[in-house]
Structure 1
Amino acid sequence: MTSPEPSRFTLDHRLPAGHFDRELRADARAGLTATPKVLPPKWFYDERGSALFDEITRLPEYYLTRAEREILHARAAGIARLTGARSLAELGSGTSEKTRVLLDALTAAGTLERYAPVDVSPAPLREAGAALRTAYPALRITATVADFEHDLTLPRDPAPVLVAFLGSTLGNLDTPRRAAFFTALRAALRPGDSLLLGADLVKDPQTLIRAYDDSRGITAEFNRNVLHVLNEGLDADFQPDTFQHRAVWNPEEERMEMRLRSRTAQSVKLPAAGLTADFAEGEELLTEISVKFRRDRLTAELADGGFTLTEWWTDTAARYALLLATPTP
């Protein structure tokens, strides 16, 4: 699919027809029959969930977005100078709002020719394309609808390429999935290319818990939204108010976990998945992990995946890191 200005903006839809319906059924069957029960966090993000998350990023307790933005504003010009990127690829780009600091810096440096956002949803990519064509009239935008964990589509030219993976989305991947991601990404990059990665850091557990269990209850509604998605997509009969939001620090894995705890024993029917899920009173459903990192741990994971850490920046409170890495020869 292309816009009326194919030379300026293209949208390549690489997900097959019916992809989300099949994935939702498969994830529900696998996750709700597992012990403990689990669902991938990608199902938070229907239109309502995306709006709730946008609201979360503005909450006083949720420091991550502000910390990353602080680092980007301080370091974007240096990132442009260090990478000399002619192509910027962004994984999980959404509406690309947070990327404008990078786009501005690379444009000011005179190198950027192409922006290649990747997301599983076409709507934010179209929205971004419309806005960015106006803001950056010389920029070629080649958007791709894809699941980067299974179909890592990156531009090959013009080189060098800078891949941005921001928002601490890396933390939603467990250790094996992070290893697979780094290995696949390294295989897609060439000498001279770079990776810009956002990572939330290990810190006081109470600060973390507040960030995932805000005083207004917005994160609780966001968490329960996955049950609305299952109701809508699978004709399920979840009663979201019968589940309590829980934000738990897992010290062994050094990660935050979002869970939904059943307030009562109940059976939930999901006809479109051919499934009935039984919950005991107090039984929990794991809906998201958010791994927090230490520099030595992340440096080692990058090295194992074929990357060399070249720069490590934090916000002034040292809560969050933005790092630059290059493919190891």
Structure 2
Amino acid sequence: MTIKPVFEDATPLTRLPDDRDFLADVIAGLGKPQKQLAAKYFYDAAGSDLFEAITRLPEYYPTRTELGILDARGAEIAAVLPPRASLVEFGSGSTVKVRRLLRHMPALAAYVPVDVSESFLRSEAETLRADLPTLRVEPVAADFTQPFTLPADLGGDGFAGFFPGSTIGNFEPPEAARLLAQFGQELGAGASLIVGVDLVKDPAVLEAAYDDAAGITAAFNLNLLTRINRELAGTFERAHFRHRALFNAAASRIEMHLVSTRAQTVTVGGRAFAFAEGETIHTENSYKYTIDGFRRLAAEAGWSAGTVWTDPEALFSVHALTRAG
């Protein structure tokens, strides 16, 4: 199972942490005035299974809505990309989404999936080669949030990029702009990029997507405490914390928190942390954009906005961007 960002679709954000990184990050986060834990640590085996369950929930619209756009408009989306380019998918994970484009790109020079989970990457690449034997598949094991080197001998008409799943929303806006600029540098002058972006909408719809009636998202959030207890000698009592998801309209983001239901002291790695009743641990942000807002962000990163595709309810968007030649 590849690491995924919170509530986005099978896209890794960072390399697998070792225990020292995990412990250092948890101690630093819990020591801040607003306690926080990094979302990348959600994904142990149990967290990954819970995430997969979340994507199937009736309240959780992003996965099925983006797939619907790719199914309905895949030919149009593929048509804005150079037909003989090498298509780079940043944080590829599963090939479920990219297949919606590949079926419309028979002259593609190569498909280059980029993922930190090398074993999962190789497995997905082998399956895709078996299903599409004429397609050249050149996987790259790398953390896409850091600069990396693309294969240099693919031929064709340069590179194009694919970044689905609204993973861009898991980054603070300045970091999202930095990441888009980095993609432009890696893909090169004149490159095209397809990006999935979740849209601002009724807060009730957003909050339900991150706080479902069945409690799967709550279990997903609370599982982070179970992981800390297991791996870092933590003493969290899950029963003394509850899940909260809220839309911060001023910041245009969904926030996830774990709320302490009582005054208590918890230890992690031998360090003690006091909680007041009602105090929270901030575990995740997911930024939501307007179409114009994301276009402005892309422009800051050196991209020109092209066509945008949305679903009939305007829940989600897929953007075509172009780099100056």
Same-fold status (TM-score > 0.5): yes
Aligned equivalent of 2:89: 90
Aligned equivalent of 2:185: 187
1:111-260 to 2 correspondences below 5 Å: 111-156=107-152, 157-158=154-155, 159-260=157-258
Higher helix share: 1
8 Å CA contact retained: 2:252, 2:287 = yes
8 Å CA contact retained: 1:89, 1:155 = no
CA deviation after TM superposition for structure 1 residue 123, in Å? 4.0
* Worse-superposed segment, 54-63 or 150-159: 150-159
1:277/1:323 CA distance change after superposition, 3 Å? same
Letter in 2 for 1:231: N
Letter in 2 for 1:115: Y
CA deviation after TM superposition for structure 1 residue 285, in Å? 0.7
1:130/1:233 CA distance change after superposition, 3 Å? farther
CA deviation after TM superposition for structure 1 residue 253, in Å? 0.3
Aligned equivalent of 1:324: 320
| Cα separation, 2, equivalents of 1:202 and 1:36 | 25
- Out of 53, 66, 71, the residue aligned to residue 51 of structure 2 is 53
| Cα separation, 1, equivalents of 2:62 and 2:213 | 17
* CA deviation map 1:98-154 (0-9, x unaligned): 222122222xxx222322222232343233123212211222323233322223444
* CA deviation map 1:179-208 (0-9, x unaligned): 221222222222332111001100100010
1:146/1:130 CA distance change after superposition, 3 Å? same
Please, which runs of 5 or more residues in structure 1 have no aligned partner?
1-13
8 Å CA contact retained: 1:56, 1:218 = yes
Across the two proteins, how many residue pairs are aligned to each other?
309
CA deviation after TM superposition for structure 1 residue 308, in Å? 0.3
8 Å CA contact retained: 1:152, 1:185 = no
1:20/1:180 CA distance change after superposition, 3 Å? farther
Aligned equivalent of 2:104: 105
| Cα separation, 2, equivalents of 1:135 and 1:232 | 40
8 Å CA contact retained: 2:190, 2:324 = no
8 Å CA contact retained: 1:266, 1:279 = yes
Aligned CA RMSD, in angstroms, stands at: 2.0
1:294 and 2:280 are equivalent in the alignment: no
1:240/1:103 CA distance change after superposition, 3 Å? farther
1:271-290 to 2 correspondences below 5 Å: 271=269, 275-290=271-286
* Worse-superposed segment, 281-290 or 75-84: 75-84
1:232/1:147 CA distance change after superposition, 3 Å? farther
What TM-score comes out, normalization by structure 2 length? 0.88
| Cα separation, 2, equivalents of 1:151 and 1:25 | 26
Letter in 1 for 2:94: T
Aligned equivalent of 1:266: 264
1:301/1:243 CA distance change after superposition, 3 Å? same
- Out of 23, 26, 30, the residue aligned to residue 24 of structure 2 is 26
| Cα separation, 2, equivalents of 1:124 and 1:237 | 33
CA deviation after TM superposition for structure 1 residue 164, in Å? 1.2
User: SS at 1:90's partner residue?
Assistant: strand
CA deviation after TM superposition for structure 1 residue 155, in Å? 4.3
Please, which runs of 5 or more residues in structure 2 have no aligned partner?
1-13
1:32/1:144 CA distance change after superposition, 3 Å? farther
